Amino acid sequence: MAPELVEEMSRPREQIRVLPALEKADKGVVMRFAPNPSGPLHLGHARAAVLNDAYVQRYGGRYVLRIEDTDPKRVDPHAYDMVREDIEWLGLAISDVVYQSDRFDLYYQYGRELIERGGAYVCTCENEQFRAMKLARKECPCRGRNIEDDLEMFEKMREGEYSEGEATLRVRTDLEHPDPAMRDYPAFRILKSPPHPRMDACLYPLMNFSVAVDDHLLGITHVIRGKDHIANTRRQRYIFDYFGWEPPEYRHYGRMGIEGVVLSTSQMRAGIAAGEYQGWDDIRLGTLRAMARRGIAPEAVKEAVLDIGIGETDISFSWENLFARNKALVDPIANRYFFVPDPVRVKVEGAQEQVAHALLHPAHPEKGTRDLLFQGEILLPREDLEKGSGMIRCKDLFNIEISGEGEELSACFAGESLADARAKKAPIIQWLPAKSAIPCTLVTPDGNRAGMCEHGVAREKGSVVQFERVGFARIDAVNPEGIIAYFTHR
């Protein structure tokens, strides 16, 4: 048989997509993940983080985490820790960590050099005034100043002699550029407040400047980022050109949304402040910590992101895709338990006291059983009882015959035979011993479901279990009042 045919046949059904090759990557790569510490990481960050990580793994090299905290307005002091935790959760193979707030002296130094090379000038025009000239493709008066004066003014900017907005260092680009957004964009600005949590400064580099300088200094060879940065890539090119540096290879993937979720950090923050969300890990949010709390495995996020890839198409990502990946990971290992939502207490007449031995996992008998003691009274889901009278198979126990309705409902023993239940097409449903069941709240994005569960669930704190016929859930807390479980997915 032809070898490629053998390979074809032995290839697993569900393979992870192979990402397109990168240019000039044969000798290894240096890539980066560069988040703002403005909040915890969300799925949008995960895409950038995982994609870059995957390429570093593939080609070998270094993976730099660069904390981009050059804008004090967009720094949340708590975010440094959150970002670190989230990266740890994702399991990225970070090799270097750099804080931009440690590198301001470098930025000043290169800012001066850019002026010396004729690539930048200090502009003291009013914002409105400059904008008007820019749109008219006209030079502003500051553009013609000589280099010595610009250097001197830049120094004064650093020393705090200008007030906020009074002076800006602009990159000299091309006033004829068809895109006005490219014309003489700012590289440094004065900011007197808010204070930066990690340092003391009043002259701040803007993102395009610090990013270009750092990409070069850190030896970044390839950048995979969203296409919302295409304009920035073009702006940064001017800086590379002025310094005679070779820019990295860029790839810009499309915009990503997730159905029903806000991915904007500022909007999430506002929602939390307004009490709309419980916190950054509110399960209705698209943050990684929210996913972790619901019981989504980091590998599922990784796989989902790799499946999306680096396509330039704008997409609206569906939770279903992520859930499916997670289910494949979690189903083989999650222990099974009974959770009875909206329980109804039923006395079963005519049955012997006995113990039901239910497998913790149907595919792994060696994991053992949960032993449920039947003593006459059980709890059953209201929803299943409302379907009317008839035979019900209590899973792993025996059959019962339901008669009557509502408060008059009664049940009597109807044999042990599973075959009998099958023949009568009796539904097989979960149940609980009334005595040993404990309260359990299932938290879902649509609200809480009150119910009861097996006492054994108490030993599963922190792990994901499957509530049979209900779905997967992560056991979040085990309190004296009961168990809090977060619904993962069906």
Partner RNA sequence: GGUCCCAUCGUCUAGCGGUCAGGACGCUGGCCUCUCACGCCGGAAACCAGGGUUCGAUUCCCUGUGGGACCA
Between residues 87 and 337, which has the closer beta carbon with respect to RNA? 337
- Taking the complex as a whole, the smallest distance from the CB of residue 185 to RNA amounts, in Å, to 7
230 binds RNA (CB under 7 A): yes
H/E stretch holding 338 reads: none
Phi, psi dihedral angles at 180 (to 5 degrees): -60, -25
The CB-side HSE value for 237 (13 A sphere, CA atoms) comes to: 13
255 binds RNA (CB under 7 A): yes
Question: What x/- string results for residues 361 through 400 when contact with RNA is judged by CB under 7 A?
Answer: -xx-------------------xx--------x-xxx---
Residue 424 identity (one-letter amino acid) = K
The CB-side HSE value for 380 (13 A sphere, CA atoms) comes to: 28
Question: What x/- string results for residues 324 through 343 when contact with RNA is judged by CB under 7 A?
Answer: x--xx--xx---x-------
The whole-angstrom separation of Cα 317 and Cα 343 is 36
Size of residue set near RNA by CB under 7 A: 54
List of residues 6+ apart from 322 with CB closer than 8 A: 291, 296, 300, 301, 304
323 binds RNA (CB under 7 A): yes
Q: Which of 209, 242, 317, 339 binds RNA (CB under 7 A)?
A: 317
Between residues 108 and 323, which has the closer beta carbon with respect to RNA? 323
Q: Which of 313, 354, 403, 448 binds RNA (CB under 7 A)?
A: 313
> Mind spelling out the 3-state secondary structure of 114-133?
HHHCCCEEEECCCHHHHHHH
Q: Which of 197, 247, 254, 271 binds RNA (CB under 7 A)?
A: 254
Between residues 391 and 428, which has the closer beta carbon with respect to RNA? 428
The β-bridge partners of 438 are 453
Point out which span in 24-32, 159-167, 285-293, 302-310 binds RNA (CB under 7 A).
302-310
Between residues 168 and 221, which has the closer beta carbon with respect to RNA? 168
**Residue-wise over 184-206: b if at least 16 C-beta within 10 A, else e?**
bbbbbbbbeeeebebeebbbbbb
| Positive or negative torsion for Cα 65, 71, 77, 79 | negative
Between residues 345 and 490, which has the closer beta carbon with respect to RNA? 490
- Taking the complex as a whole, the smallest distance from the CB of residue 312 to RNA amounts, in Å, to 4
List of residues 6+ apart from 339 with CB closer than 8 A: 430, 440, 442, 451, 452, 453, 454, 457, 467, 468, 470, 473, 485
Point out which span in 1-9, 74-82, 88-96, 174-182 binds RNA (CB under 7 A).
174-182
Q: Which of 333, 428, 458, 478 binds RNA (CB under 7 A)?
A: 428
- Taking the complex as a whole, the smallest distance from the CB of residue 343 to RNA amounts, in Å, to 14
307 binds RNA (CB under 7 A): yes
355 binds RNA (CB under 7 A): no
Between residues 321 and 375, which has the closer beta carbon with respect to RNA? 321
Between residues 61 and 456, which has the closer beta carbon with respect to RNA? 456
**Closest by CA position to 201, among listed 121, 100, 78:** 100
Q: Which of 218, 418, 458, 478 binds RNA (CB under 7 A)?
A: 418
Angle, helices 298-308 vs 319-330, to 10°: value is 130
The residue assigned the tokens 């008007």 is: 132
Q: Which of 2, 7, 13, 144 binds RNA (CB under 7 A)?
A: 13
Helices (H), 60-184: 79-90, 104-116, 127-135, 147-159
Q: Which of 161, 427, 436, 448 binds RNA (CB under 7 A)?
A: 427
Q: What is the CA radius of gyration of the chain?
A: 31
131 binds RNA (CB under 7 A): yes
Residue 409 identity (one-letter amino acid) = L
Q: Which of 266, 318, 403, 448 binds RNA (CB under 7 A)?
A: 318
- Taking the complex as a whole, the smallest distance from the CB of residue 264 to RNA amounts, in Å, to 9
The whole-angstrom separation of Cα 345 and Cα 378 is 6
Question: What x/- string results for residues 61 through 100 when contact with RNA is judged by CB under 7 A?
Answer: ----------------------------------------
The whole-angstrom separation of Cα 305 and Cα 328 is 16
Residue ranges in contact with RNA by CB under 7 A: 13-14, 17, 20, 131, 135, 178-181, 227-228, 230-232, 252, 254-255, 307-309, 311-318, 320-321, 323-324, 327-328, 331-332, 336, 362-363, 383-384, 393, 395-397, 418, 427-429, 466, 468-469, 490
